[in-house]
Amino acid sequence: MQGLNISGISVALFANSSMEDIREALFLSKVQAIQLHGSESPEFCERVRREFPNLILIRALHPESDLSLWKDSSINFLLFDSASGSLPGGTGRPFNWNILPFLSSSSPLPFFIAGGISSETLPLLLSHIQPYGIDVATGSERTPGIKDPAKIAEILKILGEPRNETS
């Protein structure tokens, strides 16, 4: 896991897709990572890993999921995101960040945090925890689906600032 550079890679996101759909989508693309964001089981993730051994595999979970299921998994990263109703994530809303210290101590894998992260909320997130990475989607958009370079620059500036590593 050390030395794995995931900066600037393309990620294909799937939610409850069949193996056939994943195969077809990856055949047509040159992504470097797969993010499974539905109710995919550890066994399904193992099938994906066997079929695509050279791709980075990210499994999105609700923060209150049973993390022990992923202890011996061949996925590379977890991604914690909030769910809302029938949506498995992508809501643009944070989950209860008070559980971040628990996630940090109990996650069997390096992890990303997603949900409600913007230049306004990022300092609070980083005061709780130093995740492997963050997934900023709606927090970097001018309008739904349209990224805002100024918002991205603000986030990058915050990430570049020195932080107290003991917090």
Q: Please check whether residue 136 lies inside any domain of the structure.
A: yes
Q: Which two tokens stand for residue 115?
A: 């949900």
Using 50, 70 and 90 to split pLDDT, how confident is the model at 88?
Answer: low
Contact partners, residue 103, CB within 8 Å, separation at least 6: 63, 67, 80, 111, 129
pLDDT beyond 80 at 157: yes
Query: Residues 116-136: pLDDT tens digits?
Result: 899 999 999 998 888 888 888
Q: Please check whether residue 122 lies inside any domain of the structure.
A: yes
Q: Please check whether residue 3 lies inside any domain of the structure.
A: no
Can you give the residue range of the structural domain that contains 130?
11-160
Domain tally, the chain: 1
Q: Please check whether residue 52 lies inside any domain of the structure.
A: yes
Q: Please check whether residue 6 lies inside any domain of the structure.
A: no
pLDDT beyond 50 at 2: no
Using 50, 70 and 90 to split pLDDT, how confident is the model at 90?
Answer: low
Q: Please check whether residue 5 lies inside any domain of the structure.
A: no
Q: Please check whether residue 4 lies inside any domain of the structure.
A: no
The CATH number linked to 69 is 3.20.20.70
Query: Residues 33-59: pLDDT tens digits?
Result: 999 988 899 999 999 999 999 999 999
Q: What is the DSSP secondary-structure string of 26-62? A: HHT---SEEEE-SS--HHHHHHHHHH-TTSEEEEEE-
Q: Which two tokens stand for residue 131?
A: 């995740």
Residue 1: predicted pLDDT: 37
